[in-house]
A and B are shown apart, each in its own frame.
Chain A
Amino acid sequence: MTLHRGNSRNSLFERKNITLIALFAVSAFVLLYAPVRSVFTRALYIGAPKIWNVGDVTHSMWNALVSNFYEKSALAKENSALRADVSRMQAQVLDRNLLDEKMKSLEETLGRAQGDNRVVAYVLARPGVSPYDTLVVDAGADNGIAVGDVVVYAGSGAIGEIVEITDASAKVKLYSSPKEEHLVTVGLHNIPVVAEGRGMGNFDAKVPQDSIVAVGDNVVLSKGGYVMGIISLVEAIPAEPMKRIFFRTPFNISEIRSVEILINKRTL
């Protein structure tokens, strides 16, 4: 009897293990074999944007209802919206200054103009939701977007690039994704350094101890010349040969509602 119970327990254990191995194999096949993954992603993204839209509509309706009852909450929300606007405008000013400089330099040296072909896309899912530090936007292959296109916010700061597209949506990998490395130039003297992503729009980098860098200096992506962030902290220990700089995007990544995708502009 005991032997029979033992055998049955063993067979149950084996069945569980076999099920798990089979599930892992199926998962790996679906996710690692690109054509299969693409088919499933496209099928999923037929309905997913609608589900997110339902969530957004419900959320704004709930906010409107609650703000009727709580004036204080409405004021706080307005304050937060105004702060987001200020942050966006600051980013735009940064961009304008940089563009102006660039334009003058180009006109002087080459005398040729350059234009961007931009597509505005609304954000469906933000990095806080996704553990990958990715954005999901509502523009895809139908809008002429391709893998590798650069994504900017408020016409200025480069935030990432397209890594996967479906017909009407795309996934954006943020430059600030943990462990992602990018060649950037820092400060007024354009010191070239390698910046490492820290997630949610944060980066850090090391510059030689005698470099002239200060809080508020711009950090620009070497390839493409897009603004990547503003230095928020400089950590210098005199005994060490390098000092560490921390910088972040001039806006809150998790509050982004729309982005611009630069078609045929690739940093790679």
Chain B
Amino acid sequence: MKKRIIFDLLLIGVIFYAQQWWLIALVALWGAFLWAPYYEIIALGILADLLYGAVSLPFGGMLGVLSAFIIFFIGSYIKKAVR
């Protein structure tokens, strides 16, 4: 549990400071694999959308959340496949 919280904080840090968006996606995917089902990723997707997006942007400014759902499913699928 403690490790999971530390990872959540790390991911928040990456959302704020990472110089490339794909790095955020990669770290999130790692989390989704390690702690499937990783529901926090949806909240972090909302955080990314509120920080960088706007309603007038593509996908109604929901790109972060939609990506979070995709990463959630990919992470869960990989976890199940390698189990």
- Chain A interfacial positions (CB closer than 8 Å to B): 16, 19-20, 23-24, 27-28, 30-32, 34, 37, 40-41, 44, 48, 51-52, 55, 125, 128-132, 134, 136, 163-164, 171, 173, 177, 179
The contact string, 1 if C-beta is below 8 Å from chain A, for chain B 56-83, is 1110111111010100100000000000
A91 CA to B39 CA in the complex, in Å? 46
Chain A residues contacting B20 (CB-CB under 8 Å) are 128-129
A131 CA to B52 CA in the complex, in Å? 8
Instruction: Name the residue in A40, A51, A131, A163 with the highest tally of chain B Cβ atoms < 10 Å from its Cβ.
Output: A131
A136 CA to B50 CA in the complex, in Å? 11
B16 near A52: Cβ-Cβ < 8 Å: yes
Chain A residues contacting B69 (CB-CB under 8 Å) are 20, 24
B50: contacting residue among A37, A52, A163, CB under 8 A: A37
Question: Besides the contacts A132-B54, A177-B57, what 19 more A-B pairs have beta carbons closer than 8 Å?
Answer: A24-B42, A27-B45, A30-B46, A32-B55, A32-B62, A40-B46, A44-B51, A55-B17, A128-B19, A129-B17, A129-B18, A129-B21, A130-B21, A130-B51, A134-B53, A163-B56, A164-B56, A171-B53, A173-B57
A90 CA to B25 CA in the complex, in Å? 36
* CB-CB nearest in chain A for B41: A23
5 A-B pairs (CB sep. < 8 Å)? A19-B37, A52-B16, A130-B53, A132-B61, A173-B57
Instruction: Name the residue in B21, B47, B51 with the highest tally of chain A Cβ atoms < 10 Å from its Cβ.
Output: B51
Residue B49, interface by CB 8 Å: yes
Size category of the B interface is 20 to 34
A37 CA to B52 CA in the complex, in Å? 12
B63 near A163: Cβ-Cβ < 8 Å: no
A48 near B46: Cβ-Cβ < 8 Å: no
B50 near A44: Cβ-Cβ < 8 Å: yes
B25, chain A: closest CB distance, angstroms: 8
- Chain B interfacial positions (CB closer than 8 Å to A): 16-21, 37, 39, 42, 45-58, 60-65, 67, 69, 72
Contact flag A31-B46 (CB < 8 Å), given A128-B21, A129-B18: yes
Chain B residues contacting A32 (CB-CB under 8 Å) are 55, 60, 62
A31 near B49: Cβ-Cβ < 8 Å: yes
Chain A residues contacting B60 (CB-CB under 8 Å) are 31-32
Chain B residues contacting A134 (CB-CB under 8 Å) are 52-54, 57
A125 near B56: Cβ-Cβ < 8 Å: no
A175, chain B: closest CB distance, angstroms: 13
Contact flag A163-B57 (CB < 8 Å), given A24-B69, A52-B16, A131-B64: yes
* CB-CB nearest in chain B for A180: B58
A136 near B65: Cβ-Cβ < 8 Å: no
A232 CA to B39 CA in the complex, in Å? 45
Chain A residues contacting B57 (CB-CB under 8 Å) are 132, 134, 163, 173, 177
* CB-CB nearest in chain B for A52: B16
